[in-house]
Chains A and B, each alone.
Chain A
Amino acid sequence: MMDPRYIRNFSIIAHIDHGKSTLADQLLLKTGTITQREFREQILDDLDVERERGITIKARAVAIHYDYQGHTYELNLVDTPGHVDFHYEVSRSLAACEGALLLVDAFQGVQAQTVANAYAAINSDLVIIPCVNKIDLPVVRTDEVLDEMHTVLGIDPDEVLHISGKSAIGIDDVFKALIERIPAPSGDASGPLKALVFDSKYDNYRGVVTYVRVREGRIAAGKKILFMKAGVSHEVLEVGQFRPHMVKCDELGPGQVGYIVAGIKDLSAVHVGDTVTEANRPAAQPLPGYKPPQQMVFCGMYPIEATDFEKLREELQKMGLNDASFSYLPETSDALGFGFRCGFLGMLHMEIIQQRLEKEAQIDLIQTAPNVTYELLMADGATQRVDNPQDVPNTGMIKEFREPIVRVNFIVPAANIGSIMQLCEDRRGTYKSTEYLGPTRAQIVYELPLAEVIYDMHDKLKSITRGYGTMDYEVIGFRAADLVKVDILVKGNRVDALATIMHRDQAERRGRGLCKRLKEEISKHQFEIPIQAAIGGRIIARETIQALRKNVTAKCYGGDVTRKRKLWAKQKEGKKRLKQFGQVEIPQKAFLSVLEVGDE
């Protein structure tokens, strides 16, 4: 067992692209944990999707050994995701640490997620080691960045390290600060075992691999352990650490971070936030654990081939084990058949899951437009959550229709303040405050309905600020609003999967936009197709897709045969992604078109 005095547990937190993964790799490289060749590959981002998008989604833990003043220290790096959708995972990682390296890009300065992540670390009582990173860049604004860090986060410029993860500048200072500034973990090695489950994943060979941070006691192979919340016991087959690949060790003691393999095959047996203790000598109290994640964005996922339904269920189950922050429940739609209503932390989270399903599981999916979750105060005084617009009852039964509200923190160039405020006003925002970070940049705070934020606020912000603006948000509660459900009727039939909830003032405009979009997405059929938007029984917009009168290739002689056949084959391929609804074929894209009619 490692003497806790020589253990340090830390995270690296930063706004996306400020160099978190690069620094993590540099620390591994410096300590010989990885090779020079591996260094280039952002070794911690081990999901395909992560690497493709250059973002870290899942928490990861790596044990690094570093010699300092005659002692070998074990530094456990718990990597954290950088995107707003994964706040939840950030706080999970932070709970396994005593300190955090806060990176700020020497050119870009303090950004929205810098602020959000720094506050998360402060709230978890972590020691923060602030760093200005990428000082090797040809153009830097180091002094202004130090000012910004001071203004927004109250960081003393003298405490800030000046480093570059990529060019390996100041890395020894980083190690020194980690060891000297972050407290060693405390915990009684002889007491009953208490280890926090902070993540888990499914491994095809070993079954469930549980990631733990030991608080008290020790854990070793052969011990019988009890998952306190789940109430199930298992025998430990192996314990080990990530360096960065799984490496077996004899035992894990207080302060250590590592994994347990206990031959658990049941996907749902391990809960993130659960406490692992000894079966024979259980702890009196479990650790505080985590608040369960709040899914705020929901969408339907339906296999295009009905026969893929069971396969989809299995894949969702697997995905759910690796990602406790996502939920799924079976549902049926008249239009789309059997599928699942899936809940996500945000839009990026949703895209990632969908991409992984299509890629790893090779299931072609139809995805309905995402919606936020709503809270209804019913006439009888009960409240109820609605995750699917289809489930909204008659207006007469609803006393109050409430939607989630987020506090959005923008950091933008001062020149763009006006446009951002206009955007927020258009989106039913409530102005809160403006604060200057320096002469050219400001932080603006608004409260906005989540529904107005998730779809395209980030893109809008990026285009208004030509890429220089950033944003972050947190859910602050539900608020009543004049919301209505808008149904879409295609050739007289209500297509449940196209129903959306929107503010009454926007209903007519958006309903019209939606009908127009659908008219573009649905191709002509042999008959006329009316498309209508309706609130209850009242039609608020209408478009008509004319019947297809003529669709015939005029010339088809010797030289045309191959070309035309290929052309037809392409059309046929395109039809595969259509869903037959009554007599009308609706393409998969149409179900998402609801999203694209925000402002026109």
Chain B
Amino acid sequence: MPLAHLRQPLAAYIHVPFCAHRCGYCDFTLVARRDDLIDGYLQALAIELGTLGEPRPVETLFFGGGTPTHLDANRLERLLKLVRRWFVPTGDFEFSVEANPAGLGDDKIEVLADHGVNRISLGVQSFDSAILQQLERDHDQPTVADVVTRLKRRFTNLSLDLIFGVPGQTLSLWRETLAQALALQPQHLSTYGLTFEKGTAFWSRRRKGTLAQVPDDLEYAMYAATMDNLAAAGFEQYELSNFARPGRACRHNEAYWAGVPYYGFGPGAARYLNGRRETNHRSVTTWLSRVREGRSPVGDSEQLSPEERAREALVLGLRRTAGIDRAAFQTATGFEVAALTAGRIARYVTDGLVKETDTALRLTREGRFVADSVIVDLL
């Protein structure tokens, strides 16, 4: 078997950079209230996809955003058709689309399902109206319940995104949100601790002191509650932020953590091909004009050295609950785990944050809370 990064890419990511409004915490590549750019985007995406030369087989497709479902049904259909022309499903095909509850009409749901989408990742974030307001999200609990009911008519694989650690959120509010999410019986849940990213409204509000980050202890308790409650409900945690019913882990995302190649299209999209990491320009308009003019849309790129690649695989692998299988790691990277960790993790093992066995290396439950501290020492 070739090294992981040299295998054939079997995953493709399409970035759809449109939203009704930019939420205060969000630093994704997107434009809000610029629906006038959508047609141009579809044209440019066609050109960028054209660089593939010929249709490629993929096992997973993922539309992320922004809000892919912000496109009206008509344009959404054009997008789906366009992408499907270049990617041919193979094996057990997984096709995920990120969606927001607000404005997700039946017409869009039909279009999605009709064009082969078989997994929806719904940006719920919270069921509490005060928290939703804090996050500047434009939906409420009844909308979510309604959308989920309608989605279930066509989809059997649903994921909900939730955010904890929101200023003003209490532990009991978060438990309540978890319970309401479980009540909707999704197949998959992603839970994210809120982060303050440079350049966002939240970042500057925190700096000015008008928005207070929740205390470390509370975030800890929320993450602990997440692990406990979701496990009790029959979900397996397979990554630091991801939980699924057996067999329902998102295979597309697993490709990222396995260090295998993937395609990426659209503004800000990342790709990993032939050991080279590339990210398209994050400005939607720059991406547009570059693609239109036949220039490369790539903003950043880097070629990793074999050791950097192996260390990256190590830290990404540790994010998965299963951790790192020593033998598989060596096949995938050409490096021995022990050689990379020598002298670096003993104290984490002693402190019970990392579990080391003859065959594997993984974070313990306690280790998950402070994964970055461990990761930094392994890079």
Contact = CB atoms under 8 A, between A and B. Distances in A.
Most buried by B among A559, A571, A575: A559
A555 B269 contact: no
Contact of B372 (A551, A558, A569): A551
Contacts, number: 99
Interface string A545-566: 0101111111111110110010
B360 interface: no
Contacts of B191: 554
A551 B270 contact: no
Contacts of B101: none
A587 to B, nearest CB: 14
Contacts of B296: none
B369 A550 contact: yes
Interface string B57-98: 000000010000000000000000000000000000000000
Contacts of B15: 559
Interface string B326-356: 0000000000000000000000000101000
Contacts of A553: 195, 240, 371-372
Contact of B369 (A549, A558, A565): A549
Contacts of A575: 376-377
Given A546-B216, A552-B193, A561 B256 contact: yes
Looking at chain B's contact residues, the main secondary structure is mixed
Interface residues of A, number: 23
Contact of B376 (A549, A557, A559, A568): A568
B289 interface: no
B274 interface: no
Contacts of A291: none
Looking at chain A's contact residues, the main secondary structure is loop
Interface in A273-321: none
Nearest to B280: A559
B371 A552 contact: yes
Contact of A552 (B257, B312, B372): B372
Interface stretch (B133-141, B178-186, B217-225, B229-237): B217-225
Contacts of A551: 369-373
B277 A568 contact: no
B369 A552 contact: yes
B190 to A, nearest CB: 9
Nearest to A546: B216
A561 B13 CA distance: 14
Contacts of A568: 315, 372, 375-376, 379
B132 interface: no
15 contacts: A524-B216, A526-B373, A546-B217, A548-B216, A549-B220, A549-B370, A550-B369, A551-B370, A554-B194, A556-B256, A557-B256, A558-B256, A558-B262, A565-B379, A569-B379
Interface of A: 524, 526, 546, 548-559, 561-562, 565, 568-569, 571-572, 575
Interface of B: 13, 15, 64, 191-195, 216-217, 219-220, 223, 240-241, 253, 256-257, 262, 264, 268-272, 277, 279, 300, 302, 312, 315-316, 319, 351, 353, 368-373, 375-377, 379
- Sorted nearest first, the 7 A-B pairs with minimum C-beta distance are A549-B220, A554-B192, A559-B270, A552-B371, A549-B216, A551-B370, A551-B372
